[in-house]
Structure 1
Amino acid sequence: MRIRPAELADLEAILALDHSYTTDHVWQMSGQNAAGEQTATFRLVQLPRQIQTPSPYEPQVLRRCLHRCDYLWVMQAPASHEIYGYIGMALLPWHNTGWIPAFAVAPHMRRKGIGTQLLHAAIAQAKAAGLHSVTLSLQTKNYPATRFCQTRGMRFSGYADNYYAGRDIALFFAYRIK
């Protein structure tokens, strides 16, 4: 397997990649607004059963998102040339960060180090560009991805209400480049 810059010919394979995930936990938000104080708390809640969740992006939205990335890498199988995963990153030097709007690994290839290698490629590029962090967003119900971020040294850095289609909350995770 190798990571390489994506080519235009890879776009359809990236869009066809299964972006869904299975989870048995969600992050539940509660907030309080009082005079001079606002708080938001996220609590991990176990679901009574696993749920299968589709991608938060429609293909046409994902296509536009990928076209706005400064860098797009794919992990490719050596013999079959199958795309196992990808990561896109836009450089935002005015915020000192690399923004990762799109990142996925094929379900049958998850938990094999592919996501970690793709994330490291983005971090290395952001570091080479002189940026101080990389940041990405996740749905509150994407517990597998939040665990991935936490175990790779990323920290919770904020949230946005009604961020995704369907009015889902986004959780932001950032990796501080040393």
Structure 2
Amino acid sequence: MAEIELRIANMSDCPLLTKIDLDFDSEFVWTSQIMDELDSYSINLQKIKLPKTIHVPFQANNISALENMIKRKEVLIARFENQIVGFSRIETDETENQFIIKTGGVKPEYRKKGIGTAILTGVQEMAQQNHISRLVFTLQAKNDPAIHFLMNRGFKFCGYQEFYFSNFEIALFYAKNIR
């Protein structure tokens, strides 16, 4: 069986990265309800089963943004069977000593083959080499497959932000301390 190779992306990878399909299907969505009263403020998040599975298209970054990420060495790629099959975009938040993973995924035909786990392990190793103590993932509220992927690997819900994405979706944040 072919091995999964992880490395930091270079500029020649850019055209290939833009062709990776990060769309996903989901049976659930998370909704929020905010109660703002005179003496209290509460937020309720609820996972709701949709009447049918929905297909969610990925809102791609523009090419120049991706090129800048590559120049800053923020993109870790996975190669498998002589092709790029997945990636993760990593921002360093030095103030909080954490990596923030905002974008990433694996080509649909290569999902459930250990590639996502390999990328996550690579991000974790990069964090440890850079003395980073926490990983934080930003996910769309509809991305139930990724939420389960992270929860099964020890990540915990740590917050949310309404209207975070360009399509005004809620962002859910999942984090894990790695030291």
**Quick one: distance in 1 between partners of 2:117 and 2:39?**
41
Residue in 2 that maps onto 1:31: 34
Establish whether residue 102 from structure 1 lines up as the match of residue 99 from structure 2: no
Residue in 1 that maps onto 2:154: 153
**Secondary structure at 2:95 match in 1:** helix
Residue in 2 that maps onto 1:12: 15
Equivalent residues, number: 176
Residue in 1 that maps onto 2:85: 84
What's the CA shift string for 1:106-150, capped at 9, x where partnerless? 011111111111011111111221122011100101111111111
Residue in 1 that maps onto 2:121: 120
**Secondary structure at 1:31 match in 2:** strand
Give TM-score scaled by structure 2 length: 0.90
What's the CA shift string for 1:1-24, capped at 9, x where partnerless? 311222211111111100100011
Aligned in 2, Cα 1:152/1:104: closer, same or farther, shift over 3 Å? same
Residue in 1 that maps onto 2:44: 41
CA positional deviation for 1:68: 6.9
- Give the unaligned 5+ runs of structure 1: none
**Quick one: distance in 1 between partners of 2:173 and 2:139?**
6
Structure 2 counterpart of 1:22, from 25, 31, 34: 25
**Quick one: distance in 2 between partners of 1:65 and 1:47?**
37
- Give the unaligned 5+ runs of structure 2: none
* Structure 1 residue ranges, 4+ long, deviating more than 6 angstroms after superposition: none
How large is the RMSD of aligned CA atoms in angstroms? 1.8
The percent identity for this pair of structures is 24
